[in-house]
Amino acid sequence: MRRALALAVTPGVPLGPNPRVGCVLLARDGTTIAEGFHRGAGSAHAEVDALAAAGEAVRGATAVVTLEPCNHTGRTGPCTEALVAAGVRRVVFAQSDANPVARGGADRLREAGIEVEGGVMADESRAVNRVWSFAVEHQRPFVTWKFATTLDGRSAASDGTSRWVSSRAARLDTHRLRGLCDTMLVGTATVEVDDPELTVRDEVDEPVATQPLRAVMGLRDLPTDRRIFNDRAETVHLRTRDPQEALASLRARDRQHVFLEGGPTLARAFLGAGLVDEVVAYVAPMLLGAGTSAVADLGIGTIADALHLHVSDVTVLQGHDGEDTNVRLTMTPTHDHRSS
């Protein structure tokens, strides 16, 4: 199973919209017959990829796969039927398939007389497809809110300037994180005032095969000369102020991971709706004492009602001169605030 998990995360495999899956076919004596992995939507699933490499040697084999074999016909046929037809004796899988369209593969295999064992290294498999699993189970995209702030919680000075609140190292890191998402989301005010391009660039380790979708949320019409409307990536205008409606619209477009980069008002809307699943904060070692807050008023009047966050990672991002430094905090809300 560890080998199958390694195959699932083969470099170059897309992060979505399909899950990343690996498969190893074993002979009765435990030796490897063949391996396979899923290379993205429309390509052969991991099991079928491995079966094609195995040929007739697969009869009586054990298939070890990181996700329960699918039991439906989409762009490709059901993996369950391919395993049955190939004469596989036993199937061991890690994570159960939560997709209501595709699940049921284990039962179908058992009906065909195949021995089935599930749950082997399920947590590790879920970690490989963390965002996909969340999106399937909650029927909405996973939301990462990213912001840059001074030590006193300011995202811009009183005169509106915000340049250099985040360091160059932090900006490079932000582009790396953008490349892990399939949607960039901002509000209309951010487009009007900041005119961002919202693409992945700035010397990321590997150029992204497909730029994230650029989504703008809000009712106002926008000038067509804004950089977000250039031809470097697709853009959609979500004419709503409702975060749940916006996420539903993005889910209908098969989007799974939203990178929320809007201003304090948009952040408040998503936090207030319980629709932030991860927080990435870049903290600069500076003080302003006044200016724009990183998030607008959440209506919290007492410390007892504070929104607490669990810190999962702290990373110091330091420039070559040793002075261009930010601290990246990765956090998740500690209480069950998230809405479906």
pLDDT tens-digit profile of 177-217? 999 999 999 999 999 988 999 999 866 666 677 899 999 99
pLDDT for residue 26: 97
Q: Which residues are annotated as a binding site?
A: 45, 70, 79, 148, 162, 164, 178, 190, 194, 198, 201, 261, 263-269
Q: At what angle do helices 46-54 and 79-86 cross, to 10 degrees?
A: 20
Q: Which residues are annotated as a binding site for substrate?
A: 162, 178, 198, 201, 261
pLDDT for residue 101: 74
Name the CA radius of gyration of the chain, rounded.
23
- 3-class secondary structure, 48: helix
The tens digit of pLDDT for each residue in 87-141 reads: 999 999 999 988 877 778 999 999 999 999 999 999 999 999 999 999 999 999 9
CA distance 295 to 243: 15
Going by C-alpha positions, the residue among 15, 17, 7 that lies closest to residue 252 is 17
CA distance 144 to 151: 21
Catalogue all structural domains in the chain, each as residue range(s) with its CATH number.
2-134 (3.40.140.10), 140-333 (3.40.430.10)
CA distance 236 to 258: 13
CA distance 303 to 35: 54
pLDDT for residue 337: 44
Single-letter code of the amino acid located at 177:
L
The tens digit of pLDDT for each residue in 21-49 reads: 999 999 999 999 999 999 988 899 999 99
Buried b (16+ CB within 10 A) or exposed e, 12-34: ebbbbebbbbbbbbbeeeeeebb
Active site residue 192: no
CA distance 36 to 27: 15
Name the residue with higher pLDDT: 161 or 215. 215
CA distance 8 to 47: 11
CB distance 95 to 117 below 8 Å: no
Pick the catalytic residue: 47, 111, 137, 234? 47
For tokens 């391919």, what's the residue? 82
pTM of the predicted protein model: 0.88
Buried b (16+ CB within 10 A) or exposed e, 321-340: eeebbbbbbbbebeeebbee
Confidence of residue 323 (pLDDT cuts 50, 70, 90): low
Residue 290, Ramachandran bin (φ over 0: left; ψ between -120 and 50: alpha; else beta): beta
pLDDT for residue 335: 59
Q: How far is CA 152 from CA 180, 225, 235, 266, 319, in A?
A: 29, 35, 34, 20, 22
